[in-house]
Structure formats: C-alpha cells, structure tokens
Amino acid sequence: MIGAIDEIYRAIPHRPPFLFVDKVLVIEGWRIVAEKYLSPDLDFFKGHYPDFPIMPGVLTMESIFQAGAILIGGMEAGEGAPDGIPALARVRDAKFKRMVRPGDTLTIEAEVVEKVANAFMMKGSAKVGGELAVSVQFTCAITPR
C-alpha cells in the first residue's frame, strides 16, 4: 500500500512545491483517501488574498487529481502496465462549497468510476473537518513518458 512520501514519489512525478498530497491513509480497490496539511507559510497564501488568505480552488482540485493519479499509478504498476505517467485529461462538474484556509488539513478522496483502455473516469472531493470544500469529476490517462 502506498503511504509514505517515497512511495508517493514512485507513483506520480509531482514534487514540492507542487505536491499536494502528504500521505495516503487508505487504498481500497479503486478508492483512495489521502491528506494534505496546508502550512500557513505556503507561497500561494502570500499572494492569494494577502489580507484574507485562501487556497486557490484550482490547487484544491489539483490535490484531488494527484490523489487520483497516485491511485491509478499504483494500480497500473500492479498490473504491469507499460511505462507511463498519469495525466489529467478532462475536468467536469467542479463545485466549490467552502474556502480552504492556512492551517487546514485537506482530507482528499478519489474513486475510479469507470476504466476504458488507459483512461480512468473518476470522481473526487476535498474536505476540511468533514465539511465539503470541493467536489469534481475528472479523467486521468496513463500517457507515455
């Protein structure tokens, strides 16, 4: 099971400062639950409303996309797939329900809804304290390096 940061590094190509998953809590079948602590000193908080810092919604979605990529990267590795990386192919139905602030911890979920060839149709969410911040449907594909 993917959990430690070095295992996350093996599953996806993202690295700090553009890695928005700190740890994987659960992988069950085609579902993943992960976390990201949002340190108040992250650079985007300095410039995204300096007097009222919030995490940009696209970065909150990025955390969901990365969790999905970790899930399918790990699944594909287990299936002996050709060398490739998970890449975002489509975004649909994004809904922003709550602001994400410095010091929050995101609980990130992603689930494969359907797999067609190398494409994975997924749905996901990010929550803070059990409260929905973002939900989105998206597609990731395994692409050649």
48 is catalytic: yes
d(CA 106, CA 83): 30
Q: What is the dihedral of CA 125, 114, 92, 74, to 10 degrees?
A: 50
89 CB neighbour count, 10 Å cutoff: 14
Q: Name the DSSP class of 5.
A: H
Catalytic position from the list 10, 23, 31, 48: 48
Q: Which residues are catalytically annotated? A: 48
